[in-house]
Amino acid sequence: MTDANSEPNYFHFEHLTRFLMQSASLEFVDARLAQNRNFYIHVVRVSESYHRVGIPAQFPIIYPNITATNKSSSLSDILEEIIPMLNGLVEGSRLLGVLVPVTVPVPEVRQLLRRRGWQNYFVVLDKENFHKIERGGFSEFEKIISTQQSLKVLNPYTSHGPVTEDMFFGREKETMYAIEKISDHCLVYIGGRRIGKTSFLLHLSIELNKRGTYNTFYINCEVFDSAQGFYHKVRDLIMDNLVTPTRIGRSMVKGEGASVGDAANDKHRELKGNAITNQEQFASFVEEVSAFLSGKQIVLLLDEVDLLVHAHPEMFKALRSLYMGGVIRCIFCGERGLDNAVHDSDHSMSNFGDVQPPFRFFLPDETSKLIVEPFEYLGIKIKSESDVIRVIKENTANRPNLVQELCRRLVDDLADRIGDEQPMGKRVITVADVARVTSAVKVERIISARAHQPYFDVYIESMWGRCNLLARAISILFEPGDQVTPKEVLQKMRKEKFRVTQKQCEDALGWLCLYNLAEDKGRQFRFVHHGFRKILELRTSAEDMLISLREEIEEKVSHGTV
């Protein structure tokens, strides 16, 4: 690197970028995203095998160019100009880029960033950092980023929504089974709310696309109030991503590499513009465009199909016909609505796809990975690791979203406790930290994303999910390991003065199975609470909770809503 009195040119900046690429396993995306007399920007990406949590998949390297002969702009002015350009380039991260102030003293840069509140937007590399990266490679680059950035900025754990691919853990068996079966089968996955269905579908899309023989499309069906909306969404996804005029032209002349003529452009406009108002037109469209896709199989990953599957069964009849004709494959995800449809012999979903076991909680080893590996990337040490992991498992029931939620709070709490500098030596989490974060009394200062809910409220909300009131009452009344028939459940509920029928009890048991609080053993149901009762009673007594639930049910009965 040159000193502050040097007059570097573009080739010097390019040399530094190539040095970083070679040392830290980076790849060029754009060699010259933007440049003027005041700055140069190169966009790079992290090699897939080195992608880590907290580090964007791609990011810019920024070289402010302030020299003795070029003082028209201050560093502050340059960054003011650059920041709007960078927003949107780095998705899912507040880190906007790597700043290499070749001609500006680094202490001056750091002081400016702190003064302007930009310290979490940029990682600043000086000459010493370059030497460290040369010796230590990507792991040293990663360490520099985690040292300079706030843990809250780097915190990869999420409290809602699907996880990013680098935070996807577990589900290996489900993934491999789907990859093996999808060439010849459609698949159906049933699971409760916030159990990881969407994250699984997005992960599966990436894995299938890597094979090079599939074109996958993820579609959230929850947003559609009509079958036509779904048809148009599929059409737009296929046309925007796959069916180009070039492909149409090649198909028309049946020659590889043929030029695109007016006919191909006309056909592309026709396919993209045609209205699709019924299942016949939809099927005809998909059959026609499949001819342009060079043998790649279309796979529709259909999430949250519960409403559509009952409101528009004709749509699923069309999908079934396309599947039987070898045109598409489908993977369906949903809850009780989808479950009811696949078990209804009169519905087009009956025997449509292979129905998989309900989405389960994580296995203990999967939970351990989700705790330990991101902590390692963040430079966080776990004191008495086995004890901390055990306590986290006890407080999450190995439920993926709860592990994410609790670990997110632990990282944010640690960031608050150790202050702005956040030295690596103080990045330690203990059993006492887990106890404090899960306390229902002292959580106000550490809660950010989930409104102001104490952790145990989030826990109970996740464990019960959309279970109805009767299902919640049943989950309190029975002990883990109890194995009972619906009739025995009914008898116990009536003994507790709940006015319910056996059919209502059977429906409630179905909800508990969906949320992994019970298992269907054929003629009996076995309760598997995962410590749920114990944690519930930290909030209120089981007796008080039952009284409250009984009163709510009675009120609904009196209004004819149960």
Give 62-116 pLDDT, tens digit per residue: 888 776 544 445 888 888 888 887 776 665 566 778 999 877 788 888 888 888 8
Mean pLDDT of the region 481-493: 95
Q: Is residue 247 over pLDDT 90?
A: no
Q: Is residue 3 over pLDDT 50?
A: no
C-alpha–C-alpha distance, residues 302 and 316, integer Å: 11
Q: Tell me if 5 is assigned to some domain.
A: no
Q: Tell me if 162 is assigned to some domain.
A: no
Q: Give the pLDDT band of residue 560 (cuts 50, 70, 90).
A: low
C-alpha–C-alpha distance, residues 73 and 80, integer Å: 11
By CB neighbour count within 10 A (0-12 exposed, 13-18 middle, 19+ buried), where does 522 fall? exposed
Tell me, yes or no, whether 382 and 339 share the same domain: no
DSSP string, 273-313: H----SHHHHHHHHHHHHTTSTTPEEEEEEE--HHHHHH-H
Mean pLDDT of the region 249-258: 52
Q: Is residue 138 over pLDDT 50?
A: yes
Read off the CATH number of the domain in which 513 is found.
1.10.10
Calculate ∠ Cα 126-129-135, nearest 5°: 150
C-alpha–C-alpha distance, residues 183 and 51, integer Å: 29
Token pair 């330990």: residue: 372
Of 149, 181, 204, which marks where a domain is finished? 149
Q: Tell me if 163 is assigned to some domain.
A: no
Q: What is the pLDDT of residue 253?
A: 52
Burial 138-172 (b: 16+ CB within 10 A, else e): bebbbbbbbebbbbbbbbbbbbeebbbebbbbbbe
Tell me, yes or no, whether 350 and 405 share the same domain: no
Give first-to-last CA distance, the chain, whole Å.
Answer: 74
Tell me, yes or no, whether 185 and 316 share the same domain: yes
Q: Is residue 281 over pLDDT 80?
A: yes
Strands 58-64 and 39-46: antiparallel
Quick one: tokens of 504? 């209502």
Tell me, yes or no, whether 247 and 332 share the same domain: yes
Q: Give the pLDDT band of residue 249 (cuts 50, 70, 90).
A: low
Q: What is the pLDDT of residue 452?
A: 55
CA-nearest of 357, 338, 361, 339 to 463 is 361
Mean pLDDT of the region 481-490: 96
Quick one: tokens of 99? 């700043």
Tell me, yes or no, whether 185 and 107 share the same domain: no
Mean pLDDT of the region 461-489: 94
For 178-195, the pLDDT digits (tens) are: 999 999 999 999 999 889
Q: What is the pLDDT of residue 50?
A: 64
Q: What is the pLDDT of residue 23?
A: 86
Q: Tell me if 50 is assigned to some domain.
A: yes
Q: Tell me if 154 is assigned to some domain.
A: no
For 518-546, the pLDDT digits (tens) are: 999 988 999 987 678 778 877 778 888 89
Mean pLDDT of the region 454-470: 91
Number of domains in the chain: 4
CA-nearest of 386, 324, 393, 313 to 361 is 393
Cβ–Cβ < 8 Å for 388, 410: no
C-alpha–C-alpha distance, residues 59 and 81, integer Å: 17
The backbone torsions φ and ψ at residue 529, rounded to the nearest 5 degrees and listed phi first, read -85, -10
Query: How many other β-carbons are positioned within 10 Å of the β-carbon of residue 290?
Result: 21
Q: Is residue 55 over pLDDT 90?
A: no
Read off the CATH number of the domain in which 246 is found.
3.40.50.300
Q: Give the pLDDT band of residue 432 (cuts 50, 70, 90).
A: very high
Tell me, yes or no, whether 429 and 480 share the same domain: no
Half-sphere exposure at residue 250, Cβ-oriented, CA atoms within 13 angstroms? 11
The backbone torsions φ and ψ at residue 201, rounded to the nearest 5 degrees and listed phi first, read -65, -40
From residue 271, alpha-carbon distances to 218, 235, 289, 292 in Å are: 21, 8, 8, 12
Tell me, yes or no, whether 260 and 313 share the same domain: yes
Bridge partners, residue 67, by sequence: 70
The backbone torsions φ and ψ at residue 336, rounded to the nearest 5 degrees and listed phi first, read -65, -35
Tell me, yes or no, whether 398 and 286 share the same domain: no
Q: What is the pLDDT of residue 331?
A: 98
Cβ–Cβ < 8 Å for 162, 195: no
Of 400, 424, 449, which marks where a domain is finished? 449
Q: Tell me if 164 is assigned to some domain.
A: no
Q: Tell me if 161 is assigned to some domain.
A: no
From residue 273, alpha-carbon distances to 3, 225, 283, 286 in Å are: 59, 21, 16, 14
Average pLDDT, the chain: 84
Tell me, yes or no, whether 198 and 314 share the same domain: yes
109-116: Cβ within 8 A, 24+ apart: 109/75, 112/75, 112/76, 112/79, 116/76, 116/79
Q: Which one-letter amino acid corresponds to residue 386?
A: S
For 123-137, the pLDDT digits (tens) are: 999 888 999 999 998
Choose the weakest-confidence range: 59-73, 126-140, 249-263, 370-384: 249-263
Q: What is the pLDDT of residue 21?
A: 87
The sheet with strand 26-36 has its strands ordered as 26-36, 39-46, 58-64, 97-99, 122-124
Q: Tell me if 88 is assigned to some domain.
A: yes
Tell me, yes or no, whether 197 and 276 share the same domain: yes
H helix runs in 25-159, sequence order = 75-86, 106-116, 127-148, 151-154
DSSP label at residue 162: P
C-alpha–C-alpha distance, residues 403 and 392, integer Å: 7
For 190-239, the pLDDT digits (tens) are: 999 889 999 999 999 999 999 989 999 999 999 998 999 999 999 888 88
Tell me the pTM: 0.83
Tell me, yes or no, whether 213 and 337 share the same domain: yes
Tell me, yes or no, whether 475 and 383 share the same domain: no
Structural domain for 544, as ranges: 465-558
Of 89, 119, 149, which marks where a domain is finished? 149
C-alpha–C-alpha distance, residues 356 and 42, integer Å: 46
Q: What is the pLDDT of residue 220?
A: 96
Cβ–Cβ < 8 Å for 156, 167: yes
Mean pLDDT of the region 498-513: 94
- Compute the radius of gyration of the chain from its Cα atoms: 28
Q: What is the pLDDT of residue 218?
A: 96
For residue 148, how far is the Cα from the chain centroid? 26
Calculate ∠ Cα 513-517-521, nearest 5°: 50
Q: What is the pLDDT of residue 470?
A: 96
